[in-house]
Structure 1
Amino acid sequence: MRKIFLQCGVLALSLLAANVMAAVSAEEAAKLGKSLTPVGAEMAGNAAGTIPAYTGGLPVNAGTVDDKGFLSDPFANEKPLFVITAANVAQYKDKLSDGQQAMFQRYPDTYRIPVYTTHRTFALPQRIYDLAKKSATTVTTINDGNGLANFSESRYYAFPIPKTANEVLWNHITRYHGGNVHRTITQVTPQTNGAFDSVTFEEDIGAPEDIPDIDKEASANILTYFKQEVTKPARLAGNVLLVHETLDQVKEPREAWIYNAGQRRVRRAPQVAYDGPGTAADGLRTSDNFDMFSGAPDRYDWQLVGKKEMYIPYNSYKLDQPTLKYSDVIQAGHINQDLTRYELHRVWEVIGTLKSGQRHIYAKRHMYIDEDSWQVALVDHYDGRGALWRVAEGHAEYHYARQAAAYTLEALYDLNAGRYIALGMKNEEKHGYQFDQKFHVSDFTPNALRNAGIR
């Protein structure tokens, strides 16, 4: 009996040690803000000088913000250092994803990557830096890396000094979005000839810590509240989606409801998860393609390859200008690459392989995550045969006045169909992102959906 107790004690201590090792020591966390940026990127530039040292990111007055909330381009006068085309892509392939190289093969005459001077623009409010440092020494993974413990007090950047692939992915999932935000965005799914109709969404994104009347204990496992209303076209207008994005989705799956304007009914929507179809996406994206990757990571085994330097979409202010029409952006096969901007940045390389016995239309996801912002920049998606299928590019834009990063456009290209989906555009809308929204917990209840519908 004594031997059994001793064995149990050793096992308990081993489990405890494994749990403690998932968070870093205070000594290692002290690197944040010194040799590492406050959220864990390398402070130093690269040896070649093509990636500069981090010097704090863009200041809040780096440009102007018009009365609609659109940002001016701090780099409007810059010209590309060079342009990668199908003719010279072999010269740069070591800094391109397989998906980007496949785009050159699929569209050799039109796809191009204009490469500009690298600017490390990302910065956050000091309170978020403080919370990230707290995360570093307290947060651990649970449920085989699919949930987080000790996260309710810090809320952001769960693992600024990550050791595993799951931890890298969690930094993307738990990154700062700017608090309570309202936005009007447009999604298009062009035909192969470039013709398109658009779908417009009004979206509210609520951060639990910024909703004053919320029950903190009841919302401890809530990461984000999300409400999306379709306002155009008329045939879809009034349909509303509500999502309570849970942190540990193994313990408590994502909760979702849909209000159907035609039926005037609110229904549970368990299909709004994993590879369930994206809203009005014509079958061109899954639910977890939203935000480049969202939702639970539990259906995949994640491998951390390491860091590398890559040309990724960055500082995409030109693509977001309100002087553009959607027809200026959308073209046959892919978006107008002359409006894009790519820079050389260090990224974390992570590969997700579908677990045995699990179901998803993507058998493998090869992801590249920007070290400064922890936003997913590129994803190559593979089908069940192991063939490259869809290529995602997240065109990042840093909201310097509000110290928050986002995507001005997410593009997901289907190499087989010759079609794509572009999500997040707002060029023709009445306003850009609207921060500091005053939300109440009642705004994100199923009962609120009927009030949100317009029909």
Structure 2
Amino acid sequence: MKSKYFFVAAAAALQFGVPAFAAAPSPEEVAKLGITGTPLTPSGAIRAGSADGTIPEWTGGLTTPPKGFKWPNYVDPYADDKILFTITAKNYKQYADKLSAGHIAMFETYPETFKMNIYPTRRSWSAPKWVYEKTIKHAATTSLHEAGFDPVNHPGGSICFPLPQNASQARLNVDPRRCNYYGWREDVWYNHTLVDPNGSHQTTHIHEWHLKPMDAPDAPPPDSPKFDPNWYVMQMMHAPARLAGQGILYIAHLSYRAPGGGEKIWSYNPGQRRILRAPQFKYDFPYPGSNGMVTNDQAYTGTQGDIDRYNYEMQPKREMFVPYNNYRLADRKLTAEKVIGKNHIDPDLVRYELHRITPIVATIKPEYDMIYSKRVFYADEDSWWNMMSDLYDREGKLWRVEENMTMNFYDQPLFHRLLETKYDLRGGYVVELLDYDAPSQPRRFNDQAGDYDASFFTVGNLKSLGVR
């Protein structure tokens, strides 16, 4: 069964029949983008390495599996790399210019246990060649709606703004559901684990299906009536028993101004046998199963949801230590007990590297009141993925810290998150996507994930999957 693409004329008018603002990059700027031999990579990153050689040149990233790889066991292509040095509470001030406010806070909050092992920098980001070509081709034609939070004429399967002209464009780039290459299908089982301040934890076992038709290599162009601008998610809880059968259907439109809203959410409760619209699952509404430690707009790499309630600032690119190439955490011989500690995951399992990062600062607009007055996203120059986030409370005090443990799924190739950690500096944290102990199938991407299409993501199917 081939993927089907659905669209409506009203949505098309929203995406195409609207004015845009922010000047497009010049032909001279676009000419700097290229797969090889140009100053900038297809994603707009500086191709050259750093002056001191600590950050190497981007030479194409990982595009083929290393020797010994047999799916689903991802071999660490950098297993022979040695730790260069370790940052601890005793020496972190020496490296403060390369640390986020969140990491500094982690050292100060957990001085006895938190540390960062620094490894050689490996610029592993890669994507299929057609993604590079599409990104470069549309670099000057994808624009931003005058409202400031909608991409216009984005074809999918590419990075919206490899040469961002303002902070809103940069912010959209770190949203892989709308403005980055996310892959077109994902079938994933995972554990959502809430760790209490005393170290005890509760785990919810979840099965999710994702579909992003516009990221498929055969997706029609954005001016086609068959172009599908939606990102679909079906989520079904399987354990513990009291939550089994509960589910969520989530459909996010490329445009935040789409008819009925940019996000549509339904929930199913098997005890009531009822499907309900869940419009409250937006912005800073508590994310299910997080005991209030995670909000809806922190989900999925920390960039979930509508972004219109903040003003944005794109700060100058800087070198920072960020989690990267975390293949050690992909070892399926690990158990959740080995990973999850009292205050944070085991730092000896995490790999940090020095990369060039663009901080994007979100400050709440004065007409809104949300629990986060400011958020800082740290965008990797190669992938445009949000590597980590700092979240500030209403009084402007740093409150929560997020990390995205990423790696290149080189058999695709696809740069993606392996797991997410969301720390509350007042105690407790949430870790997602650990599936070591889960009685489930390994994570599958794209054609490997199956042949379901948009017709799978219906309220009727949500109910049938949740019936117990």
Say whether the fold is shared (TM-score over 0.5). Answer: yes
Report matched runs for 1:139-150 at 5 Å: 139-150=142-153
Report matched runs for 1:243-258 at 5 Å: 243-251=250-258, 252-258=261-267
User: How far off is 1:38 after superposition?
Assistant: 1.1
Check 1:21–1:287 CA distance in 2 against 1; reply closer, same or farther (3 A cut). closer
- 1:318 and 2:328 aligned: yes
User: How far off is 1:213 after superposition?
Assistant: 11
AA of the residue aligned to 1:26: P
Cα distance between partner residues in 1 of 2:268 and 2:100: 39
Cα distance between partner residues in 1 of 2:68 and 2:382: 23
Check 1:59–1:155 CA distance in 2 against 1; reply closer, same or farther (3 A cut). closer
- 1:25 and 2:26 aligned: yes
Cα distance between partner residues in 2 of 1:166 and 1:126: 27
Residues 153-201 of structure 1: CA distance to partner in whole angstroms, max 9, x if unpaired? 3453110111211111211212112221101111111122322121111
User: How far off is 1:212 after superposition?
Assistant: 9.0
Query: In the alignment, which residue of structure 2 is the partner of 1:374?
Result: 384
Query: In the alignment, which residue of structure 2 is the partner of 1:365?
Result: 375
Query: In the alignment, which residue of structure 1 is the partner of 2:244?
Result: 237
Check whether the contact 1:213–1:441 (CA below 8 A) recurs between aligned residues: no
Check 1:154–1:28 CA distance in 2 against 1; reply closer, same or farther (3 A cut). farther
Check whether the contact 2:22–2:165 (CA below 8 A) recurs between aligned residues: no
Cα distance between partner residues in 2 of 1:215 and 1:448: 29
Check whether the contact 2:25–2:165 (CA below 8 A) recurs between aligned residues: no
Query: In the alignment, which residue of structure 1 is the partner of 2:8?
Result: none
Query: In the alignment, which residue of structure 2 is the partner of 1:121?
Result: 124
Q: Which moved more, 1:109-118 or 1:429-438?
A: 429-438
Cα distance between partner residues in 1 of 2:343 and 2:325: 23
CA-based RMSD of the aligned residues comes to: 2.2
Check 1:75–1:23 CA distance in 2 against 1; reply closer, same or farther (3 A cut). same
Check whether the contact 1:85–1:108 (CA below 8 A) recurs between aligned residues: yes
Normalised to the residue count of structure 2, the TM-score between the two structures is 0.89
- 1:101 and 2:114 aligned: no
- 1:187 and 2:188 aligned: no
AA of the residue aligned to 2:417: Y
Check whether the contact 1:204–1:226 (CA below 8 A) recurs between aligned residues: yes
Check whether the contact 1:70–1:432 (CA below 8 A) recurs between aligned residues: no
User: How far off is 1:215 after superposition?
Assistant: 12
Cα distance between partner residues in 1 of 2:384 and 2:350: 20
Check whether the contact 2:21–2:145 (CA below 8 A) recurs between aligned residues: no
Check whether the contact 2:374–2:393 (CA below 8 A) recurs between aligned residues: yes
User: How far off is 1:454 after superposition?
Assistant: 4.3
AA of the residue aligned to 1:194: G
User: How far off is 1:66 after superposition?
Assistant: 3.3
AA of the residue aligned to 1:58: L
3-state SS, counterpart of residue 133 of structure 2: helix
- 1:201 and 2:227 aligned: no
Check whether the contact 1:248–1:296 (CA below 8 A) recurs between aligned residues: no
- 1:170 and 2:183 aligned: no
Q: Which moved more, 1:242-251 or 1:284-293?
A: 242-251
User: How far off is 1:214 after superposition?
Assistant: 10
Query: In the alignment, which residue of structure 1 is the partner of 2:288?
Result: 279
Check whether the contact 1:258–1:267 (CA below 8 A) recurs between aligned residues: yes
Cα distance between partner residues in 1 of 2:221 and 2:31: 33
Cα distance between partner residues in 2 of 1:318 and 1:439: 31
AA of the residue aligned to 1:392: E
Query: In the alignment, which residue of structure 2 is the partner of 1:344?
Result: 354
User: How far off is 1:425 after superposition?
Assistant: 1.2
> Could you list the runs of 5+ residues in structure 1 that have no partner in the other structure?
1-15
Check whether the contact 2:211–2:232 (CA below 8 A) recurs between aligned residues: yes
Check whether the contact 1:256–1:269 (CA below 8 A) recurs between aligned residues: yes
Check 1:365–1:79 CA distance in 2 against 1; reply closer, same or farther (3 A cut). same
Match of 1:301 among 311, 318, 321: 311
Report matched runs for 1:385-424 at 5 Å: 385-416=395-426, 418-424=427-433
Residues 43-64 of structure 1: CA distance to partner in whole angstroms, max 9, x if unpaired? 0111111000001101312354
Check whether the contact 1:43–1:54 (CA below 8 A) recurs between aligned residues: yes
AA of the residue aligned to 1:23: A
Check whether the contact 1:63–1:73 (CA below 8 A) recurs between aligned residues: no
Query: In the alignment, which residue of structure 2 is the partner of 1:37?
Result: 41
Check whether the contact 1:213–1:440 (CA below 8 A) recurs between aligned residues: no
Check whether the contact 1:80–1:114 (CA below 8 A) recurs between aligned residues: yes
User: How far off is 1:336 after superposition?
Assistant: 0.6
Cα distance between partner residues in 2 of 1:150 and 1:94: 38
Aligned length: 436
Check whether the contact 1:311–1:345 (CA below 8 A) recurs between aligned residues: yes
Query: In the alignment, which residue of structure 2 is the partner of 1:5?
Result: none
Check whether the contact 2:403–2:420 (CA below 8 A) recurs between aligned residues: yes
Query: In the alignment, which residue of structure 2 is the partner of 1:158?
Result: 160
3-state SS, counterpart of residue 366 of structure 1: strand
3-state SS, counterpart of residue 442 of structure 1: helix
User: How far off is 1:220 after superposition?
Assistant: 5.3
User: How far off is 1:295 after superposition?
Assistant: 1.8
Cα distance between partner residues in 1 of 2:246 and 2:305: 22
Check 1:354–1:221 CA distance in 2 against 1; reply closer, same or farther (3 A cut). farther
Check 1:111–1:139 CA distance in 2 against 1; reply closer, same or farther (3 A cut). same
3-state SS, counterpart of residue 235 of structure 1: coil
- 1:49 and 2:62 aligned: no
Check 1:358–1:219 CA distance in 2 against 1; reply closer, same or farther (3 A cut). farther
User: How far off is 1:427 after superposition?
Assistant: 2.3
Check 1:338–1:142 CA distance in 2 against 1; reply closer, same or farther (3 A cut). same
Normalised to the residue count of structure 1, the TM-score between the two structures is 0.91
